[in-house]
């Protein structure tokens, strides 16, 4: 089978390209992307699709301008649309505190996405080859990946396609050289400063002395893992959906009892599912990370485990995996409000009005007070250390912290519950309990109503 036929077979077997598609090729000028362009041009003789070459100049190497010129010349040779952009990967890496490799990848995909917005039926073609796949699997093994990490790269991931993932690097170079197709050489690929380069240039060649087919073995391992995962995924998915009690774009909550009833191995998979749902990827999550999250089961309610931007929380009734966000609530400060006014505070709308008589309350968002016992304006803030109040019906003062514990209020929610105060005295822990000292009694003449609602 010729190398072009092998690419054709991969594309057809995995449904990577359809009639009428626009294929945005990540064109670096290197041998892999040059081969991908020429292979796609051969296949375009049989199918109707459009090719756009997209080149991002990382401003990282002296040869960068040559690489750009080579891609532009290739575009001109085949009369293809050519799009280019310059952005410093080193500056981006410094700004966001990430590696240069990661910065380059993010910048490339941002660029490809910008182009993609112009074409409704478009896909991004990336020139990853079999060697790249093998290196990815090995890197993940070294970092302690779970089974999911062994899947490495897919032929298709949404709108991203990898048509030459079955082709070895040596075959690509042989083809380019025999056809006298020009390509650029990235000299940084021959240094061991980067992890992937060290694997490619040092570690893998040594292992290949023991097993010449080591790369193919790694890819086979990835394929086996993919098959095994597809079998178990449907089973885990059913459990996952059954125990979820709430989900939003940045968090997933499990029923506490249902989660704890599962075998530890299944709990691990459920955590991975939750991370995948809210982060859209789990490639940097190791078994050690998952085991660390699972240690939360043995901790007290209200405790949490944090890893980078992920927070796994244990509540009285649920476990919650969420993306970590800066707590803007604590920056809200303290506001004042008078009778007849309405304000926004901590995601709530708070309104005070004078009423002629007491009406039956519906829900916990309305409370009535004896106006003559209060000093206006009232204050609205979140709790502070040492806060106390006298819950109605109790007869003595109690720490807000102890009140929340008794009421089994989750630790993360305690900081987001507005308190209403008269001077420095808490008259209402909103949606929970008002103070004994400000309740209506037979001598009450003037009544105020306070309403607290979620903002739309």
In angstroms, the CA 369 to CA 378 distance is 12
In angstroms, the CA 32 to CA 37 distance is 9
Q: Reading across the β-sheet that carries 447-454, which strands appear in turn?
A: 342-345, 348-355, 447-454, 366-370
Q: 29: annotated binding-site residue?
A: yes
Q: 418: annotated binding-site residue?
A: no
Q: Which pair of structure tokens corresponds to residue 265? A: 């191995």
Residue with tokens 């910048």: 107
Distances (CA, A) of 238 to 73, 232, 243, 246, 285: 52, 10, 9, 15, 22
Q: 346: annotated binding-site residue?
A: no
Q: 338, 352 in Cβ contact below 8 A? A: yes
DSSP E strands in 88-243: the ranges are 122-125, 156-157, 160-161
Q: Which pair of structure tokens corresponds to residue 108? A: 């490339």
In angstroms, the CA 422 to CA 424 distance is 6
Residue of 53, 26, 54, 6 lying closest to 165 (CA atoms):
6
In angstroms, the CA 276 to CA 444 distance is 57
Q: 352, 340 in Cβ contact below 8 A? A: yes
In angstroms, the CA 235 to CA 251 distance is 22
* R_g (Cα) of the chain, nearest Å: 30
Q: Which pair of structure tokens corresponds to residue 342? A: 């309405």
Pairing of strands 251-255, 318-323: antiparallel
In angstroms, the CA 127 to CA 32 distance is 6
Q: 363: annotated binding-site residue?
A: no
Q: 379: annotated binding-site residue?
A: no
Q: 353: annotated binding-site residue?
A: no
- State the binding site: 28-33
- State the binding site for ATP: 28-33
């Amino acid at each position: 089978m010729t190398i072009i036929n092998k690419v054709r077979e991969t594309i057809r077997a995995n449904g990577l390209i359809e009639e009428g598609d626009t294929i945005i090729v990540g064109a670096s000028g290197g041998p892999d992307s040059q081969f991908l362009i020429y292979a796609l041009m051969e296949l375009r003789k049989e199918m109707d699709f459009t090719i756009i070459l997209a080149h991002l100049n990382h401003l990282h190497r002296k040869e960068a301008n040559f690489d750009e010129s080579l891609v532009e010349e290739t575009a001109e040779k085949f009369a293809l649309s050519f799009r280019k952009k310059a952005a410093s990967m080193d500056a981006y890496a410094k700004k966001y505190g990430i590696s240069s490799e990661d910065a380059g990848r993010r910048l490339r995909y941002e660029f490809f996405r910008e182009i993609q917005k112009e074409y409704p039926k478009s896909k991004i073609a990336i020139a990853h080859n079999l060697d790249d796949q093998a290196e990815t699997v090995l890197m993940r093994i070294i970092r302690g990946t779970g089974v999911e990490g062994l899947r490495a790269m897919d032929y298709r991931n949404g709108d991203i396609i990898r048509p030459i993932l079955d082709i070895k690097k040596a075959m690509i170079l042989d083809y380019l050289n025999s056809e006298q197709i020009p390509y650029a050489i990235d000299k940084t690929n021959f240094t061991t400063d980067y992890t992937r380069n060290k694997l490619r240039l040092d570690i893998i060649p040594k292992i290949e002395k023991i097993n010449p087919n080591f790369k193919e073995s790694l890819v086979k391992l990835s394929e086996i893992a993919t098959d095994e995962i597809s079998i178990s995924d449907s089973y885990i998915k059913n459990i996952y959906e059954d125990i979820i009690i709430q989900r939003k774009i940045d968090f997933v909550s499990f029923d506490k009892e249902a989660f704890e009833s599962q075998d530890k191995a299944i709990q691990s998979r459920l955590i991975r599912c939750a991370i995948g749902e809210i982060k859209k990827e789990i490639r940097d999550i190791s078994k050690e990370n998952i085991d660390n999250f699972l240690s939360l089961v043995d901790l007290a309610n209200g405790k949490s485990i944090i890893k980078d931007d992920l927070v796994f929380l244990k509540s009285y009734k649920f476990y919650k995996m969420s993306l970590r966000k800066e707590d803007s609530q604590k920056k809200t400060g303290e506001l004042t409000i008078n009778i007849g006014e309405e304000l926004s505070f901590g995601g709530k709308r708070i309104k005070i009005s004078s009423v002629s008589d007491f009406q039956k309350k519906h829900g916990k968002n309305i409370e009535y007070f004896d106006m003559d016992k209060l000093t206006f304006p009232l204050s609205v803030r979140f709790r502070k250390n040492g806060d106390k109040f006298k819950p109605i019906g109790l007869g003595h003062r109690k720490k807000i912290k102890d009140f929340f514990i008794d009421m089994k209020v989750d630790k993360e929610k305690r900081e987001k519950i507005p308190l209403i105060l008269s001077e420095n005295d808490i008259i209402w822990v909103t949606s929970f309990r008002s103070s004994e000292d400000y309740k209506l009694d037979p001598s009450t003449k003037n009544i105020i109503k306070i309403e607290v609602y979620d903002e739309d």
